[in-house]
Amino acid sequence: MSATGESRRITVPDITARKGGEPVVMLTAYTAPIAGFLDDHVDMLLVGDSLGMVVYGLPSTLAVTPEMMIAHGSAVMRGSRRACVVIDLPFGAYQESPEQAFRTAARIMAETGCSAVKLEGGIEMAETIRFLVDRGIPVMGHVGLTPQAVNHLGGFRARGRSNAEQEKITADAVAVAEAGAFAMVVEAVVEPLARRITELVPVPTIGIGASVACDGQVLVIDDILGTFADFTPRFVKRYADLGTEIGAAAASYAADVRARRFPGAEHTFAVRKPART
């Protein structure tokens, strides 16, 4: 609570201070209404480039643009009041150079008012992370399975099954932390590796398909609500089946329309009789 009694947004330093403490709760959000529903229950809202798949029906995140991230990020900011909001930098909008990354991140932060940005990559992105952090842009890292590199990695599969992969991902996590990231997502790595990384780095790890030992967890909201039907990753726990309920509601509506049960008299407007003079 603020000095005036109003709730304030959770800040980046608040999240960093949670290392080793109460787990950080994070979910994705892409719209103002969903952000509002989630806001009281989470510490962080991630406007992920996963919106390309779950909102736009794209086969991957690669076609997502900064304009899409800004539109949805602005909506999430309008719909929330306390969660720390982080927005993904989309593919191709930051990898070219630290300067390109700064221009994209600065634009997203200025136009949405979000608290931080997230970018994928390890050792190869350390210079960029440091460049952004030194210029006042908080950065969340992302190591392990990095969806923007899906073509290079050969698909969405768990990482860290070989010793070589484990050493590479560990080095990536250390480099991201040393570059100044305030936290990092650790995605789809074998459990012992996620546990090892969490013990090794001084910033919070946010697991997704990783380990309960991580400093927090994140999932895609559409996955836990059952509204993304393309596939359900192994690491997802469904907490509702709204997809089935939405289908049932649409079927009931369609049946009422076809049987002329809807609209009823209570849903229509009658002509008002003129008042007597």
Residue ranges of the annotated binding site are: 49-50, 88, 118, 120
Quote the DSSP letter at residue 147: G
Residue 158 has a CB neighbour count (10 Å cut-off) of 19
Which residues, including other chains, have CB under 8 Å from residue 177's CB and lie 6 or more apart? 141, 184, 201, 202, 203
CA distance 197 to 180: 16
Residues 213, 182, 84, CA angle at the centre, nearest 5°? 90
| CA–centroid distance for 30 within its chain | 8
Q: Which residue in 22, 67, 187, 191 is the catalytic one?
A: 187
Q: Which residues of 125-145 are buried (b: 16+ CB within 10 A; e: fewer)?
A: bbebbbbbeeeebbbbbbbbb
Residue ranges of the binding site for 3-methyl-2-oxobutanoate? 49-50, 88, 118
To the query of whether residue 124 is one of the catalytic residues in this protein, the response is: no
Backbone angles phi, psi at 103, to 5 degrees: -60, -45
The catalytic residues are 187
